[in-house]
A and B are shown apart, each in its own frame.
Chain A
Amino acid sequence: MSGDGMANAERAQPVLTARKAGLVGCAECGHVHPKGTPTCSVCGSGLASRDSASLQRVWAWLIAGMVIYIPANVYPMLRTTTFGATQESTIVGGVIDLVDHGSIGVALIVFVASVIIPVSKFIAIAYLALRVQRGKPGTSTHFHLYEFVEFIGRWSMIDVFVVAILSALVQLNFVASINPGIAAVSFALSVAFTMISANSFDPRLIWDAPEGNPV
Chain B
Amino acid sequence: MAYYGGMTDSLSDLIACPKCDALHRVPDVDIGAQARCVRCGTVLMAPKDGAMTRIVMLSVTALILMVAAVFFPFLELSVQGLGRKSSVFDAVLAFSDGLMLPLSVAVAALIVVLPVFRFVALIYVFAPMALGWTPAPRAKTVFKLAESVRPWAMAEIFIIGVAVALVKVAGLAQVTLGPAFWAFVGLVIITVLKDNFMCRVTVWQTLNARSPS
Using CB atoms and an 8 Å cutoff, list the residues of chain A in contact with chain B: 1-10, 15-19, 21, 23-34, 37, 41-45, 49, 82, 94, 98, 101, 103, 106, 109-110, 140, 143, 147, 150, 153-155, 157-162, 164-172, 175-176, 180, 182, 184-185, 188, 192, 195, 199, 203-204, 206-207
Partner of A2, one of B27, B39, B151, B157: B27
Partner of A43, one of B19, B93, B111, B144: B144
Cβ of B212 under 8 Å from chain A: no
Determine how close the nearest CB of chain A comes to the CB of B42; give it in whole angstroms.
9
Chain B residues, CB < 8 A from A206: 20
A18 close to B77 (CB less than 8 A)? no
Cβ of B11 under 8 Å from chain A: yes
A204 close to B107 (CB less than 8 A)? no
B26 close to A5 (CB less than 8 A)? yes
Question: Given A10-B38, A207-B21: A41 and B1 within 8 A (CB)?
Answer: yes
Chain B residues, CB < 8 A from A161: 91, 107, 111, 154, 157-158, 160-162, 165
Cβ of B64 under 8 Å from chain A: no
Cβ of B16 under 8 Å from chain A: yes
Cβ of B179 under 8 Å from chain A: no
A16 close to B200 (CB less than 8 A)? no
What would 21 A/B residue contacts be, using CB atoms closer than 8 Å? A2-B28, A3-B38, A5-B35, A23-B14, A25-B15, A32-B11, A32-B12, A42-B205, A43-B207, A82-B172, A101-B171, A161-B165, A168-B93, A169-B84, A169-B90, A169-B91, A170-B169, A172-B77, A175-B79, A176-B79, A192-B106
Determine, out of B95-103, B117-125, B127-135, B186-194, the stretch whose residues face the partner at the interface. B95-103
Q: How many A-B residue pairs have CB under 8 A?
A: 257
A41 close to B8 (CB less than 8 A)? yes
State A205–B157 Cα separation when bound (angstroms). Answer: 30
Given A45-B144, A157-B161, A160-B107, 17 new contacts (CB under 8 A): A7-B14, A10-B38, A28-B147, A29-B201, A29-B204, A32-B12, A42-B207, A42-B208, A98-B167, A101-B170, A155-B157, A161-B157, A164-B103, A167-B91, A169-B84, A175-B80, A180-B103
A176 close to B173 (CB less than 8 A)? yes
Question: Given A140-B39, A168-B91: A154 and B151 within 8 A (CB)?
Answer: yes
Chain A residues, CB < 8 A from B91: 161, 164-165, 167-169
A44 close to B144 (CB less than 8 A)? yes
Partner of A165, one of B17, B40, B161: B161
